[in-house]
Chains A and B, each alone.
Chain A
Amino acid sequence: MNGLHDLGGMHGFGPVVTPDGEEVFRERWERRIAGILNLVAFAGVCGSDQFRRAAEAMTPEAYLTTPYFGRWLHMVETMLMENGVAGFEELAAGHRSPDNPPWDGPVLAPAEVWPAYRSAGSPRRETTLPPRFAVGDVVLVRNRNPQGHTRLPRYARGKSGVVTRMHGCFVYPDTNAHGMGEQPQHLYNVRFTAHELWGEQARDAVHLDMWDSYLE
């Protein structure tokens, strides 16, 4: 969707502020939600594509004013409710309702956390589909504006680039985020010149990954 999350190329956010000695977390609740989100994913409630869709569905005002880990909190709440794991009343009350059944899926024991993290799988999938493009091919990105989740930034739509790398076949986020299946397809790294994207004469370039369906 054409949401506020799709920030590439926007103006007006000011300089990048880079404090020294930055810690990963500032507050306790940030630590807790980071651990919880990962455990919810490892339990199989949902994956990254669904979490990202939940963040993108925030109103633009909420997206702008909610801190980073606050967006993670929103993602977890949304996915727990959407997948029927926890109801609004339970999250509001802060306790499990006796009407709602206990979790019967996988649970990570403390000693399993590090091994599970280290062996986390990739969304790479086997395929017999031949790739449509090869390294060096000039490709044109489709101009599409889906209401749903996509990983195709607005700034690359309708633009032309050159395939620089074949990644293999990967789960397609645009369907997977909506529970419409993994529908894996080839993923290419495509180089866009700054001139093509922004009209600039600089020799610079932006590289983006493109699923087959993103290309004409």
Chain B
Amino acid sequence: MSEATHDHSQTEPPSSYALRVRAIETVLTEKGLIDPVSVDAFIDVLENKVGPRNGARVVARAWSDEAYKRRLLADGTSAIAELGFSGGEGAEMVVVENTPGVHNVVVCTLCSCYPWPTLGLPPAWYKSFAYRSRVVIEPRTVLAEFGLRIPDETEIRVWDSNSEVRYFVLPERPPGAENRTEAELAGLVTRDSMIGTGLPKVIP
């Protein structure tokens, strides 16, 4: 395209990040290491196939099936795979249970490790320097910033994901959840309740 015909309505130049990514994609495609359609397919995995909807199904099953919950707490990887969820950044899963005396919260202080098959890619705040630096040293203050006030008599357990084991919080079932279907229960489970920075929705 000559300068004369260049469409100046697109005034935003591509960022240097965008240019560098385009360079990598072109070089690797020309080398035959990647297929751009496979890149699309992987983006589809990350945007649509994994995500907190999967984790919500795990929690709902545990809330409605005591035997499943026992399997989930004993061997998270296998029990989560029973529902069809497995894969990268989730090949080794440990599920930790919130109880009236214990509140669990997950972080990765060294990078941003997060259980992709059940929760998808992490939200920006999970990757932020503020969350990574502070939740291990002042968990109560950080949780209060999420609107979560943990009673003094409840112990907070912070799980710093420094290995390839991925931690997943099983929140407490909200009161009044008996006689609800699994699908209804899954609708109560928030992403943050499975990280430990939130609670499930209250039953109206």
Q: Report which A residues bind B (CB closer than 8 A).
A: 5-19, 22, 24-25, 27-29, 31-36, 38-40, 43, 45, 48, 52, 55, 64, 67-70, 73, 76-77, 80, 85-86, 90-96, 100, 102-103, 105, 107-114, 117-124, 151-153, 155, 165, 167, 170-171, 187, 189, 191, 197-198, 202-209, 211
Known contacts A94-B27, A103-B31; A35 and B46 CB within 8 A of each other = yes
Select which of A13, A80, A85, A207 is within 8 A of B157 by beta carbon: A207
Chain B residue numbers with a CB within 8 Å of A36 are 21, 24-25, 28, 34, 39
Nearest-neighbor residue (CB-CB) of A37 within chain B: B42
Contact B34 A13 (CB under 8 A): no
**Once the chains are docked, how many angstroms separate the CA of A118 from the CA of B89?**
10
Binding site for A on B (CB under 8 A): 14-15, 17-28, 30-35, 37-43, 45-47, 49, 51, 86-88, 91-92, 94, 109-112, 117, 120-121, 123-125, 127-137, 139-140, 142, 145-146, 155-165
Chain B's closest residue to A118 (CB) is: B87
Can you show 11 pairs from A to B with CB atoms below 8 A apart? A8-B136, A10-B133, A18-B145, A19-B124, A22-B124, A35-B42, A110-B35, A113-B42, A170-B164, A205-B158, A206-B136
Minimum-distance CB pairs A-B, first 8: A8-B109, A209-B163, A94-B23, A96-B30, A122-B91, A35-B39, A35-B42, A113-B41
- Taken together as a complex, chains A and B put the C-alpha atoms of A111 and B40 apart, in Å, by 11
* Min C-beta distance of B49 to chain A, whole Å: 7
Q: A151-B162, A153-B162 known; A55 and B35 CB under 8 Å? A: no
